[in-house]
A and B are shown apart, each in its own frame.
Chain A
Amino acid sequence: MADLSISFAGIKSPNPFWLASAPPTNSGAQVMRAFELGWGGAVWKTLGNPIVDTSSRFGSLDVGGQRMVGFNNIELITDRPLEVNLREIAEVKRRFPDRAVVVSLMVESKEDWRDIIKATVDTGCDGLELNFGCPHGMCERGMGSAVGQEPEVLKVVAGWAVEYSPIPVLIKLTPNVGDILEPGVAAVAAGVHGLSLINTIKSLIGVDLDRMVPYPVVGGRSTNGGYCGPAVKPIALHMVAALARDPRITVPISGIGGIATWRDAAEFIALGATSVQVCTAVMHYGFRIVEDMIEGLSNFLDAKGMKSVSELRGKALPAFTEWGDLDLNYKVVAEVDPETCIGCDLCYVACRDSAVSCIHVGDEPLAEGHRAPTRERAIAAARRDGRTAHVVWVDESECIGCNLCSAVCPVPGCITMKDVTGAPFESWNDRIAKGTAKVPGGLEDWRAARSGKR
C-alpha cells in the first residue's frame, strides 16, 4: 500500500486530503468529525473580525438533473467569536496531533494582522492561510480578493504575516485575475511558504425568472457570489499547473477547485499540487467521501507501481506546454466500434453540425479512394434483433481527429481515437524556426491575387 503522507512546507499530514476553509470547517465539532473519518487536514474557516451573514447564501448550478455541478455562495468569513474559534482550534490540535490544522485569516490593518497571527499561533496550529481570494462581500471592504488582485498590496500584507508568524504561511489566491503568475510570484517574493488555489470565481449563479432576482435571493435582491464545485476544476487545474511549472514558484501548492474524488485529486497532484483541499463535494455528500478518496488514490498508486504520493507529484507537468510546441504531425482518427454502437447517432449529428461530416450511417456510400475500415462491419452490425439500428462508421480520410464524437458518445469505450501518425515530430515553433510557417489562403495571398487582377 502506497504511502499517502505528505509534508507541506513542513506541515505533516497522513494524507493529502484537506478540508478547504469553508462552512464545513466552521467549528471544532465539524473538524473533529471529519478527522475521525480520515481527513488528513483542515483549513479552518477564515478568522477575522466577526461579520453578519445573509439568508439565503447558496445557489446551485444543476445540469441535466445533476445537482451542484457548480455552486455559488455569498457567505462571508466566520460568524463566531474569535475566542471560541481559538479555543476549539487548540482542542482539535490537542486531540488530533497528527493532522494538519491550518487556520485561514483575513483582517485589514497591519496591527490586526499582528494580533490575530499571534493569537492564532498560540493555539498550536500548524500553519496559516491568508485569505486573499474571497470575491464577494469582504472584497468590498478592501480584503479578500481586493488584496489578491493587487500583487504589490499582496506582497506587502504577505510580508507582514511572514514577519509575525513563526509557522508556515500560505497565501490563498484568487482566480479573478488576468494572469495567476503575477500574484503567485509576488507571494513567493514576500517569502511565503506555500500557495493554495483557487479561491472561488466571481459569479452570478442564475436568475429567478418568476421574481426577476438573481440567485441566491436575499429579500428582493441578490449580489455576486463565489463560484466553485466540479465545473471549476478545469480552471483550477490550469492555474495550479501554470504556477507549478514556473521556475519562480519555489513553494508547495495546495490544489483547490472542484475536487470530489480521488481521481480529481490525482490530477491536481500530477500537475504539481502537494495537498488538495475539498469543500463543495463535502457540502454535497458529507465528510464520509474521504474514505473512498484515500482508498482510491492508494489503489491507483499501487496499480501504477508508485510507492508514495510524492512520486505522483508533478508527473504530468512536463507534458503541459505551449500550443506552439505541440506536434502538428500527430494524427488520430475516430473509430466507432460497430458492436457496441447503440445507434443514437449523437456523434453523427455532432460531426455534421459542428465538425466535418466524416461520420456516416449504415450503407451510405464511401467516397472514391477514401478509407473507412469499419464500414462493412457497421452495415452488418446494424441488422440486429430483427430491426435496423443506425450504426455509424467513420470516413478516416475526412476525420480531423477532433475528439467531439468520442465526447458526445454515451457508451464508454465505443468511440476511440486511433493513432495514425505517419510523419516525424514538427511543431509550429519548429516551422517558424525553419521559415515554413506560412499557411496559404490568408490575407497576403488575397492581396496578391487582387493586385494581380488589376
Chain B
Amino acid sequence: MATHETLIQLDRLERAFPDLKPLYGDGDAVAEANRCLYCHDAPCTAACPTGIDVPTFIRKIATGNARGAARVILSANLLGYSCARVCPVEVLCAGACVYNDWHRPPIQIGRLQRYAVEKAFDDGQAGTLFRRAPATGKKVACVGAGPASLSLAGYLALAGVDVTLFERRAIPGGLNTTGVAPYKMHVDGALREVDFVRSLGITIQEGVEVGSEVRAEDLARDFDAVFIGVGLGQDTSLGIPGEDGPGVYGATAWIERMKLEPGFAVLGVACGAVIGGGNTAIDAARELSRLSVPHVLMVYRRTAEEMPGFRHEMDAARREGVRLVEKAVPKEFIRQDGRLVGILLDDGRRIPADLAVVAIGQTRPRDLAAQFPGVEVDPGGRIVVDRATCRTGNPKIYAGGDAVRGGDLVVTAAQDGKRAARAICRALGVQIAVDAALNAGHQ
C-alpha cells in the first residue's frame, strides 16, 4: 500500500509557503477553547454543511480530551482534517459565531478543529476512534478518490461495506491533494487524511481510469452500487489568439504543478496576470504574490461586487498586493518572439504580463456520465442527482461533490459522501448502528 511518503518529493514549490494559520500548541488550543461560550443549539453547528457539533468538540479540547474532540469532529465529517484547513470558516461556522454579534473576534474554529484531528493523527490511533461493523458482503465502487468519494468510502467501510476507489491519477485525494492553496494545506496534509480514511478499511486503486482500464459497465455489474466522485475536468480555455504557448497556464494545472512537480519554479516573472474572478483565481493570485512576483493582477470581466470568489479571500489578496482590473475581457495574448508580454483587452487596454493563469472554470464530466446508462447531466454538464440521497437516474449509481455541484467546497463534497453513504446503506439493507458515525451531523 502506497503511503504518502513514497508518493511525493521534497523539492516541491508549495513547500515555500508557510501555513497562514499555523498549528496550535496545547496551550494555545486550550486558551482559545476556553473562550468558547458553549452555546446551546449553536449557530456554528447549524452553519456547518456537515453539522459538526462545534461547541461539544471545543469543550473537549478545553478539558484536555482532544481524542474525544477528534471523535466528535470526524463522526460528523470524516474529512474534518482537510475541512479544518481549507473551509472558508469566515462564511460558515466562524461567520456564525455569536461573538460576531458582540463585536469580538469569533472563535478560531478551524484552527481548533485542526488541532484536535492532527493530534489524533499524530498519536497513530485515529483509526480506532470508531467501531467497524462486521462485513456485510456488500461491495461499492467509487469513481475518483477525491473528497466526496473518500467521505463516502470511509463511512461505508465503517458500516461493513467493501469499498474500492478507482483513481486515474497516481496519487489520491483529488483537489485536496492537487489544488488546495499551499498556505492553507500542503500535499502531505491531504495525504495524511487519505491514509486515515484508508485505515478505516478501504481500497484505493491508483492509476486506474474508469472508461479505459476499467469499464463502467463492469463496475455497474460487479458492484452493488457505484458512486461517481470525479470532480471537474480540464481547465477551460479562453479560446483567444496567443493562448497556446509558454507563459499561459490553466489555473488548476498550474497549481497542481506548483504543489506536486519536483523542481517546478516561478522565476523571473515581473508581472503575473490571473484571469477570472472565482476562488481559484484568487488562490492563484495570492500564490503568485506570495512567490514574490512583484506585480500580480487579477483580470475580471465584471466588477468587484459581482465576483463569485469570497469577499474575505479577495480582501486578503488585496492586502497581499494583488490588484484587480475590472470589466476586463481578454481579446488576445500578446507575444514577442513567442514570449508572453501582455494581454490585449477587448476595449483596447493592454495589460503587461509575462505569466498568465487562466482561471475561468473547468470542464464538466459529461463523458464519464454518458458511460453509465440512466445517469443524466444538466445543461451545465453537472450530473443530476436527488440532493437528499445523491442518487442519479440510475438507481444503482450515485454521485456527489463537484461533479454534481460544479465547483463547490470540500465540506459540501464531504456531506454529499455522507448522504450517499446513508442512502446506499438503506438501499442495500445495510444496518446502521444507532451510535454509528454515519448518524452524526446534519441529515
Contact = CB atoms under 8 A, between A and B. Distances in A.
Tell whether A pairs with B. yes
Interface of A: 64-65, 342-346, 348-349, 361, 384, 387, 389-390, 410-411
B39 A346 contact: yes
A410 B41 contact: no
Interface in B112-136: none
Contact of B37 (A344, A361, A384, A389): A344
A166 to B, nearest CB: 54
Nearest to A350: B40
B422 to A, nearest CB: 27
B43 A389 contact: yes
A389 B43 CA distance: 8
Interface string B14-47: 0000000000000000110010011111010000
B62 A410 contact: no
Given A64-B62, A65-B30, A345 B41 contact: yes
B92 to A, nearest CB: 12
A298 B39 CA distance: 39
A390 B43 contact: yes
A343 B38 contact: no
Contacts of B99: 342
A116 to B, nearest CB: 46
A8 to B, nearest CB: 40
Contacts of B30: 65
Contacts of B307: none
Contacts of B78: none
21 contacts: A64-B34, A64-B62, A65-B30, A65-B34, A65-B62, A342-B98, A342-B99, A342-B101, A343-B98, A344-B37, A344-B98, A345-B40, A345-B41, A346-B38, A346-B39, A387-B96, A389-B43, A389-B98, A390-B39, A390-B43, A410-B37
Contacts, number: 41
A114 to B, nearest CB: 53
A201 B30 CA distance: 29
A361 B62 CA distance: 27
Contacts of B98: 342-344, 389
B62 A343 contact: no
A20 B101 CA distance: 44
Contacts of A342: 98-99, 101-102
Interface of B: 30-31, 34, 37-41, 43, 62, 96, 98-99, 101-102
Most buried by B among A344, A348, A361, A387: A344
A55 B62 CA distance: 30
Nearest to B30: A65
B101 A384 contact: yes
Nearest to B103: A342
B23 to A, nearest CB: 19
Contacts of B38: 346
B121 to A, nearest CB: 23
A384 B101 CA distance: 9
A344 B34 contact: no
A389 B40 contact: no
Given A343-B101, A345-B40, A390-B39, 10 more contacts: A65-B31, A65-B62, A342-B98, A342-B102, A344-B39, A345-B39, A346-B38, A387-B43, A390-B41, A410-B102
Nearest to A387: B96
Given A64-B34, A64-B62, A387-B96, A348 B101 contact: no
A233 to B, nearest CB: 22
A120 B102 CA distance: 57
Contacts of B43: 343, 387, 389-390
Contacts of B96: 387
B61 to A, nearest CB: 11
A343 B40 CA distance: 9
Nearest to A361: B41
Nearest to A63: B34
Given A64-B62, A342-B101, A343-B101, A348 B34 contact: no
Contacts of B31: 65
Given A342-B98, A342-B102, A389-B98, A348 B37 contact: no
A65, A348, A384, A411: residue with the most chain B Cβ atoms closer than 10 Å: A65
Contact of B40 (A346, A387, A411): A346
A342 B100 CA distance: 8
Nearest to B47: A387
A412 B322 CA distance: 41
B102 A411 contact: yes
Contacts of B37: 344, 346, 410
Nearest to B55: A344
A64 B34 CA distance: 6
A344 B38 CA distance: 8
Contacts of B40: 344-346, 348-349, 390
A343 B31 CA distance: 22
A342 B99 CA distance: 7
A208 to B, nearest CB: 13
Contacts of B101: 342-343, 384, 389
A344 B41 CA distance: 8
Contacts of A411: 102
Contacts of A390: 39-41, 43
A411 B102 CA distance: 8
A343 B46 CA distance: 13
